[in-house]
Structure 1
């Protein structure tokens, strides 16, 4: 209010957020997506579902997400 210059209000979209929250959200969403893809591939018989493939798929998706997000 009084401390901010006129016309320069802080927007909630200006905040980068907590990187730990970003990491956990990335982990959860990447693992869900990898699970769905592997389940679908197992359903059609293209690839057998395994925990190792789920972990590797999650790590690859998390890495790709980090590269794309930090490429600004």
Structure 2
């Protein structure tokens, strides 16, 4: 693949394959070719995965604003 330095988009050739499919099409292709069921992980999946860093960053932001923060887990 050549790099173009003029910043102008190049015209696609007639037989060139579009490699960057929209995300829903990529998901559908993956599901159909691998014959797997779609599992929705939920809207807070990434928040749960990064919970420790979210808490640490939130505490740091509050301390930078001049607040004193004490954290304890809810039971």
Do they fold alike, i.e. is TM over 0.5? Answer: no
Structure (1 or 2) with the greater helix fraction: 1
Higher RCO (Cα < 8 Å, 6 or more apart): 1
Greater Cα radius of gyration, structure 1 or 2? 2
TM-score by length of 2: 0.32
Provide the TM-score with structure 1 as the length reference.
Answer: 0.33
